[in-house]
């Protein structure tokens, strides 16, 4: 068989295997998320359906056009804008995109001026744009973690406010004014929607979609269920606060118990790319030997394919399902 054809087949097979593993893991996680949403969705009220339609229309930028689903470009824009807002860096989406492009172009130009080789442009552009995106994702994860830690005290505050005779709207306003950011800022936005005339369950469902945390989704579902069938809402809030605190403690225990394994996985996963880049910039003669024969190219393709599969598998194993 022709060596070129063999190399192409190996590359296509490695890419297909990596894509299949990625899609499989993504499908499993998506099924878990949908199953959880079905368990939490106790109410199909008209207000919540109206809020869903309004948010989808706003995300697509075409309110009232009858579209049931926003285009993928609009969803990407909305996701990037939400990520920048959650990062709490004081930048708009346009400014954040400008900083990402500036970092990529600057690093690409610096590497090209250093090595004077064309491949350094691609490497610098890739790394320069990936690092700011990783920083934004880290800040967004920290933002969500802060809200998760604040939820038990917030639920207890709502329960005590209801027992003191305040209405649910007044309890949410008290939480927005007396709570700690970033949760108080999200509740303040929810209170503003309520003051503008949106129903409380619909406003909480919109906030739950923005925050995207399991415990806040449960809170929004409890409020919607209580508005439909009634019940002892302060008692439900106390139980929700206690269960949220237990889950936070379990998550902390899980992170502490798996800290060594996670650090080891990060070290092993990042060792190969870092060593490869180190040889590329510091020892170009050794780096070029990988591409002198088909065996070296095939070995590199298989190694990086297995590296991607291993990283995806580790991310799947480190997911907390509770």
pLDDT confidence tier of residue 155, bands split at 50, 70 and 90: very high
Closest CA to 17 of 295, 309, 298, 273: 309
Q: What percent of the chain has pLDDT over 70?
A: 76
Per residue in 102-153, pLDDT tens?
888 888 888 888 877 777 777 788 888 888 888 998 998 899 999 999 999 9
Q: What pLDDT was estimated at residue 50?
A: 44
Q: What pLDDT was estimated at residue 180?
A: 87
pTM: 0.67
- Quote the CA–CA distance of 307 and 285 in Å, as a whole number: 24
- Quote the CA–CA distance of 32 and 300 in Å, as a whole number: 35
CA distances from 194 to 149, 205, 319 (A): 25, 12, 35
Span of 158-162, 208-212, 285-289, 303-307 with lowest mean pLDDT: 285-289
Span of 21-25, 250-254, 257-261 with lowest mean pLDDT: 21-25
Per residue in 193-217, pLDDT tens?
999 988 999 999 989 888 888 899 9
Per residue in 255-274, pLDDT tens?
888 888 778 878 877 887 78
CB atoms inside a 10 Å sphere around CB 15: 13
Show the tokens assigned to 27. 């499908």
244 vs 56, residue with greater confidence: 244
Mean pLDDT computed over every residue of the chain: 78
Q: What pLDDT was estimated at residue 57?
A: 42
- Quote the CA–CA distance of 284 and 277 in Å, as a whole number: 10
């Amino acid at each position: 068989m022709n060596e070129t054809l063999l190399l192409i087949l190996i590359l296509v097979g490695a890419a297909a295997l990596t894509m299949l593993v990625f899609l499989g893991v993504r499908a499993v996680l998506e099924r878990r998320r949908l199953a959880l949403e079905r368990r939490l969705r106790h109410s199909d009220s008209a207000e919540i359906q109206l809020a869903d339609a309004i948010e989808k229309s706003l995300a697509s930028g075409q309110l009232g056009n009858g579209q049931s689903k926003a285009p993928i470009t609009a969803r990407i824009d909305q996701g990037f804008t939400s990520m920048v807002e959650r990062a709490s860096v004081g930048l708009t989406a346009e400014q954040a995109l400008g900083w990402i492009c500036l970092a990529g172009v600057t690093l690409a130009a610096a590497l090209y001026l250093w090595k004077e080789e064309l491949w350094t442009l691609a490497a610098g552009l890739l790394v320069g744009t990936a690092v700011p995106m990783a920083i934004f994702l880290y800040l967004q994860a920290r933002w969500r973690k802060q809200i998760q830690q604040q939820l038990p005290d917030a639920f207890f505050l709502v329960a005590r406010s209801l027992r003191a005779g305040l209405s649910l709207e007044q309890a949410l306003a008290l939480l927005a004014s007396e709570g700690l950011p970033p949760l108080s800022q999200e509740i303040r936005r929810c209170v503003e929607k309520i003051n503008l005339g949106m129903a409380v369950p619909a406003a909480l469902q919109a906030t739950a979609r923005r925050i995207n945390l399991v415990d806040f989704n449960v809170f929004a579902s409890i409020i919607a269920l209580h508005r439909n069938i009634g019940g002892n809402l302060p008692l439900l809030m106390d139980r929700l606060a206690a269960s949220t605190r237990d889950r936070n403690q379990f998550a902390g225990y899980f992170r502490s118990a798996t800290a060594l394994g996670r650090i080891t996985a990060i070290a092993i996963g990042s060792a190969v790319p870092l060593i490869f880049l180190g040889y590329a910039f510091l020892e170009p003669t050794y780096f070029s030997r990988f591409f002198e024969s088909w065996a070296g190219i095939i070995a590199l393709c298989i190694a990086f394919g297995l590296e991607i599969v291993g990283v995806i598998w580790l991310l799947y194993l480190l997911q907390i399902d509770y």
